[in-house]
Structure formats: structure tokens, C-alpha cells
């Protein structure tokens, strides 16, 4: 795909997606959603970890209300079904670890795009905003799924109803994200964490993603059976053999990946 609204590059096992509409605070358009979907699909095949971030001062300000006649006449149900859902599914179904490097404000669908990834890092100056009720809407782009699971019902309900800004430090404290990082350390921090995952056991990471995400729909017995099946697969892998040899030899493991 010829990317027009994002940049996409792969280096040392890390696929980096940068939403590249800095003048619009990386607001989401039809074109951008299609490009993000394509990039996550490509990254899942070409890299060992996928990172998404924003150009300029913002991560993503949400839906571009000026795109394709957005406003009172837009068919929001069609947009969510046909454009947002495929993009979000490409993120959540990506077979390798995914990271949102939230470099600035993440509002509306932009906040929920970040929450769809496996791990979220944010600068301490960043914030998350479920802005939807400010314009008479409900949280979408998967927000109503992610927030109760990550923040708990009380925090999720308050975030949705009041549409208050949630600082990165608050998001960290509430369990909404993995870590808030001082601004001056941010790029080095997420880059190091992405490199760590890129050097790790890719197949095991895929199984981790599966068992944790599937746990919400499973009984305890079903989850134990799923753990057993996935652990059986991991136990037959070359990465497990290498991990044991490295442990016994008191050296760093060198995982093959794919």
C-alpha cells in the first residue's frame, strides 16, 4: 500500500507505525483507518513487535469530524462496522506484541485505539479523554470493551459519563495503561521495551496474547484447558529448548522467532 496518512518502517524486528497528520493532531480519517489496518497486518507478518505512535504533539485526537462530511449527516454505525472494526481487529488479532507509544493527548477513538494494543506507554504530559458525551455520543472504537476490563467498572463509567481528562499518571495508577514515563525518557524507554520484545520468544508471546484475551469468555475449567494446550505447544518449540539451555548455562537466550 502507498501510505499517505501514516509512515511505516521495519527495523531490527520492530515495525513502527506513525500516524502522520500532525497538523490535525493525527485525527482519524477513512484513509488513515485503512492504512493502519494494513500496517498492523503487514507488521504481524514482517516484524516481531508492532509499535504505533503519533507525529507532532499529539498521539491521536480521534475521529476527524471534517472527513467525508462527518457531522450530523454521517452514518456512524456504518463507519464503525466497516472502517473502525476491521482496523481494531487487525490490532487485537496481530500475532506479535503490539505497543502504543502515546506521545501526547489521546482523545475519543484515539484513546481507544491505544487501549486496543497489548501494552501502552505514555508520556507523563499525555492524557486520555473519552470525549464522546461532549458531543452527544457514547464511547466507541472498542472503548466500552477495554475500559471496564482495564480500569474497573466505576472508573470506566465515570470516564465515559463525565468526559474528564485522565492524566497519564492517573491512567498508570488505575491500571488503564502499562506505564507513564517522564517525557525526556519516553522515546528511549519505549524503544528499549520494543527491542526487548523483538528479541523474545515470538511464539510464546502469541500464546500469551491468546490465553489472556480469551480468558474473559472462558470458565475456569476452560481456561485451564486452554493453558494446557498452549503450554504444550510452547513446550515443543525450539525457543523453549533454547531457554532451558540458556538458563542451565547461565547465559542470555537467543530466540529464533520466525
Q: Can you tell me the mean pLDDT for 10-24?
A: 96
Q: Are residues 127 and 193 in the same domain?
A: yes
Q: Quote the number of domains for the chain.
A: 2
67, pLDDT greater than 80: no
Asked whether residue 186 falls in the same domain as residue 206, the answer is no
Taking only the tens place, the pLDDT of each residue in 44-56 is 999 999 999 999 9
Based on the domain organization, do 85 and 141 belong to the same domain?
Answer: yes
List, for residues 121-141, the tens digit of each pLDDT value: 999 999 999 999 999 999 999
Task: Give me the pLDDT at residue 248, please.
Answer: 86
- The tens digit of pLDDT for each residue in 131-173 reads 999 999 999 999 999 999 999 999 999 999 999 999 999 999 9
Distance, in Å, from the CA atom of 21 to the CA atom of 27, rounded to the nearest integer, reads 7
- Nearest CA-CA partner of 24 in 54, 1, 2: 54
Range(s) of the domain holding residue 136: 6-198
Region 77-85: what's the mean pLDDT? 94
Residue 26 lies in a domain: yes
Nearest to 32 by CA among 57, 12, 56, 8: 8
**Domain identity same for 116 and 223:** no
Q: Taking the CA of residue 124 as centre, how many other CA atoms within 13 Å lie in the half-sphere pointing to its CB? A: 7
Are 93 and 221 in the same domain? no
Residues 94 and 130 both lie in one domain: yes
This prediction has a pTM of: 0.93
How would you classify residue 220: left for phi > 0, otherwise alpha for psi between -120 and 50, otherwise beta? alpha
| Per-residue buried b or exposed e for 235-245, using 16+ beta carbons within 10 Å of the residue's own CB | eebebbeebee
Q: Which CATH number does the domain housing residue 56 bear?
A: 3.90.226.10
Q: Are residues 109 and 219 both part of a single domain?
A: no
Q: Note whether residue 1 is domain-resident.
A: no
> Does position 72 have pLDDT exceeding 70, yes or no?
no
Which CATH number covers residue 229? 1.10.12
In a domain, 140, yes or no: yes
Question: Would you state the pLDDT for residue 160?
Answer: 96
Where is pLDDT greater, at 76 or 17?
Answer: 17
Residue 98 included in any domain: yes
Computed over every residue of the chain, the mean pLDDT equals: 93
**254, part of any domain:** no
d(CA 38, CA 50): 12
Contact 68, 38 (CB under 8 A): no
Amino acid at each position: 500500500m502507498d501510505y499517505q496518512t501514516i509512515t511505516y518502517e521495519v527495523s531490527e524486528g520492530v515495525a513502527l507505525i506513525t500516524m502522520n497528520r500532525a497538523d490535525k493532531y493525527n485525527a482519524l480519517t477513512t484513509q488513515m483507518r485503512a492504512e493502519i489496518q494494513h500496517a498492523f497486518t503487514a507488521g504481524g507478518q514482517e516484524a516481531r513487535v508492532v509499535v504505533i505512535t503519533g507525529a507532532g504533539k499529539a498521539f491521536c485526537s480521534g475521529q476527524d469530524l471534517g472527513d467525508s462530511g462527518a457531522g450530523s449527516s454521517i452514518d456512524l454505525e456504518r463507519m464503525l462496522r466497516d472502517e473502525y472494526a476491521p482496523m481494531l481487529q487487525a490490532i487485537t488479532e496481530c500475532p506479535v506484541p503490539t505497543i502504543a507509544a502515546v506521545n501526547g493527548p489521546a482523545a475519543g477513538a484515539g484513546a481507544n485505539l491505544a487501549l486496543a494494543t497489548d501494552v501502552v506507554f505514555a508520556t507523563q504530559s499525555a492524557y486520555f479523554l473519552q470525549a464522546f458525551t461532549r458531543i452527544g455520543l457514547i464511547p466507541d472504537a472498542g472503548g466500552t470493551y477495554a475500559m471496564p476490563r482495564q480500569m474497573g467498572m466505576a472508573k470506566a463509567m465515570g470516564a465515559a459519563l463525565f468526559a474528564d481528562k485522565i492524566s497519564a499518571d492517573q491512567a498508570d495508577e488505575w491500571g488503564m495503561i502499562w506505564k507513564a514515563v517522564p517525557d525526556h525518557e519516553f522515546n528511549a524507554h519505549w524503544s528499549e521495551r520494543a527491542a526487548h520484545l523483538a528479541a523474545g520468544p515470538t511464539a510464546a508471546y502469541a500464546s500469551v496474547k491468546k490465553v489472556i484475551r480469551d480468558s474473559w469468555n472462558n470458565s475456569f475449567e476452560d481456561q485451564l484447558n486452554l493453558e494446557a494446550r498452549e503450554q504444550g505447544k510452547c513446550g515443543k518449540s525450539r525457543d523453549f529448548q533454547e531457554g532451558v539451555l540458556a538458563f542451565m548455562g547461565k547465559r542470555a537466550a537467543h530466540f529464533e522467532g520466525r
